[in-house]
Amino acid sequence: MLKPIKTENEYNEALARVYELLQSDLAEGSANSDELEILSILVKEYELIHYPVAYPNPLEAIKFRMEQMNLSEHELNNILGNRSRKSEILSGKRKLSLSMIRKLTEILNIPAEVLIQAY
């Protein structure tokens, strides 16, 4: 019977069972498929509490997303303003404004929660 994961031992057992289920050929809608789905949710909840992942640094997130989207720093001028402002922001000398955060969220799809962090 499935139950909430409360200890590290239960967590490790759940991970082992998830691995075992993933190695089998699961039919959609089967009992094992449902067990995998529920166990995955329980493992995720346990990890959110016991192994939280910090947001990335806002400036690193911007640079990473630019790289992913093959954007040049020149194209970033359209979002952040003139070249010197963009340079000051990327070097950490100037903070992002609310309007810049909104544009970065809209255009680069970086969550606002990442961009509003102190850096």
Helices and strands: H and E segment counts in the chain: 7, 0
Q: What percent of the chain has pLDDT over 70?
A: 100
DSSP string, 2-15: -----SHHHHHHHH
Q: Write down the pLDDT at residue 79.
A: 85
Q: What is the pLDDT of residue 75?
A: 86
**Quick one: pLDDT at residue 47?**
97
Q: What pLDDT was estimated at residue 82?
A: 84
Q: Whose structure tokens read 């969550």? A: 111
Please give the domain boundaries of the chain with CATH numbers for all domains. 8-50 (no CATH), 58-115 (1.10.260.40)
- The pTM for the full model equals 0.64
Q: What letter does residue 72 receive in the DSSP assignment?
A: -
CB 36 within 8 A of CB 22: yes
CB 77 within 8 A of CB 86: yes
Q: Which of 84, 119, 115, 114 is nearest to 100 (CA)?
A: 115
